[in-house]
Structure 1
Amino acid sequence: MRWRQQLHQSSPLTQFLPLPEGALCLIAATAFCAEYLLFYFHSTTHKGLEGYYHILLVLLIGLCILSTVAGALLPTSFPIDLCSGIAMTLQGLWFYQTAFTLYGPMMPDGCLLKDDMISCHPVDNEVRGELLANFQFFVMVLGVLIAVVGGYGFVASRFGHSDLKRLRAV
């Protein structure tokens, strides 16, 4: 909220080209849209387990688009800023998770990378790999939410509103 105003006022670009309040969010949303289109069309060439990981990535990129557009529409909303930060964090973590799983040491049993293509034999191993992706995704979302709530609780207890401190004392 306030950081956007400070960024808006202190940016050298805005000295020469004044931008409306939500312009930075809309610029970020266009970057996420380009990324979405790239991975969406890239995902259509991948089938099976690799395609499934890419679909989950596309969903997270879509969440980034929605949260940044909402940030442009409601620039003073803390929950939207928080949602945007969570979405970007999840997207970055999912990039790493995809890399470690599909191209690194966490490849599910029965699946292998051969000629730049992931293949799982028999089909049960592919289903197990997709279930593993769901579990990894769930754990990642849960971990980020626990970290955000824990961090928010810590900061609120140290620097919270004076009414909250009086309420806790009662």
Structure 2
Amino acid sequence: MGSFVGHAVPGTFFFFFGMWFTYRMFQRYFLCQVAAAGSGGEKCRSRYRNVSSFACPGTLPPTGEFATAFDAGKFTHIGNAQHMTMFFFFGLNGVMDVLTHYRIPVPPDMDYVSAVLAFSMEALLFYYHLHGRSHMDVQVHMLLFYVVLACAVSTALEMCYKNNVLPALCRSYFTLLQGTWFYQIGFILYPPWGPTWDQENHGQMMMVTLFFTWHNATIFVIMALAGSLIYLRVKAKGPAAMYHGLHGPLRMPKMDAEQIKNMIVDSEEEEV
């Protein structure tokens, strides 16, 4: 990861999967809310459940780390080995997600447990990744460490409170933040253009903290806008599309198109 590209690649994947997870969880939540409003009770609302379907890059990044770890035919870059180890744990999480998706008999919540393990190992590796670095290098990676740790905590809470959408949205939030901050680290430590940062300058280190707060604000606004648009899209769905949405990701009891149509009409009348 000792380059701009080395930070941009994981940043892209974390941001992409964070956005996808945000879309899917908002969609599941609002579909169930519409169904609950139509049925007029908590029985339907309680059927909302979080799922662990988040995946991280597990092939190209470790391949690149492995290919660049050799010097004169010898494996000399221990940092690459740490990065490959991190990707291995996320690959393991991907395997658990696949096994869970296809209902292979595995212990309960192994998809969540493997996700918590992957984020925890990533946090551990970053925490002990900074010996001998500049003060700014330590600062940006410690901020990343806090974000990764928050991913692990929110995933664990999501596992414990599967009927609450807030932990799932927190995981989306911190995954998106991890993606954008990876990019920011690349621009700070390995700028592809423009002047380089003085990594021992206190004023510029204060700017780094300010940038981090701006990233938090931007992610919050992005998720709020995404949630609003997804809600409007769910409300605008026709009966057939609503039927597919309810019986696909939510696996709710079968209803015909007329029942769903009546459910949506009742929901709209209640709002008026």
TM superposition score normalised by structure 2: 0.50
1:155 paired residue among 230, 238, 244:
230
Amino-acid identity (%): 21
1:135 paired residue among 198, 204, 210:
210
2:146 paired residue among 43, 48, 59:
59
State how far apart, in whole Å, the 2-side matches of 1:103 and 1:97 are. Answer: 10
What letter corresponds to residue 86 of structure 1 in structure 2? Y
Q: What SS is found at the alignment partner of 1:42?
A: coil
Relative to structure 1, is the Cα distance of residues 45 and 28 closer, same or farther in structure 2, using a 3 angstrom cutoff?
farther
Aligned 8 A contact 1:108 1:129 in 2: no
The two structures, once aligned, show a CA RMSD in angstroms of 2.7
1:19 and 2:111 are equivalent in the alignment: no
State how far apart, in whole Å, the 2-side matches of 1:39 and 1:92 are. Answer: 15
Q: List structure 1 segments (4+ residues) > 2 angstroms apart after TM superposition.
A: 1-11, 43-47, 105-109, 160-168
State how far apart, in whole Å, the 2-side matches of 1:32 and 1:106 are. Answer: 33
State how far apart, in whole Å, the 1-side matches of 2:136 and 2:125 are. Answer: 19
Relative to structure 1, is the Cα distance of residues 165 and 144 closer, same or farther in structure 2, using a 3 angstrom cutoff?
farther
Unpaired runs of 5+ in structure 1? 112-118, 121-125
Unpaired runs of 5+ in structure 2? 1-48, 54-96, 236-262
1:55 to partner: Cα distance = 0.9
Question: How many residues are matched?
Answer: 152
State how far apart, in whole Å, the 1-side matches of 2:205 and 2:186 are. Answer: 15
Matches within 5 A, 1:27-42: 27-42=114-129
TM superposition score normalised by structure 1: 0.76
Larger radius of gyration: 2
Matches within 5 A, 1:86-125: 86-104=173-191, 105=193, 111=198, 119-120=199-200
Relative to structure 1, is the Cα distance of residues 138 and 97 closer, same or farther in structure 2, using a 3 angstrom cutoff?
same
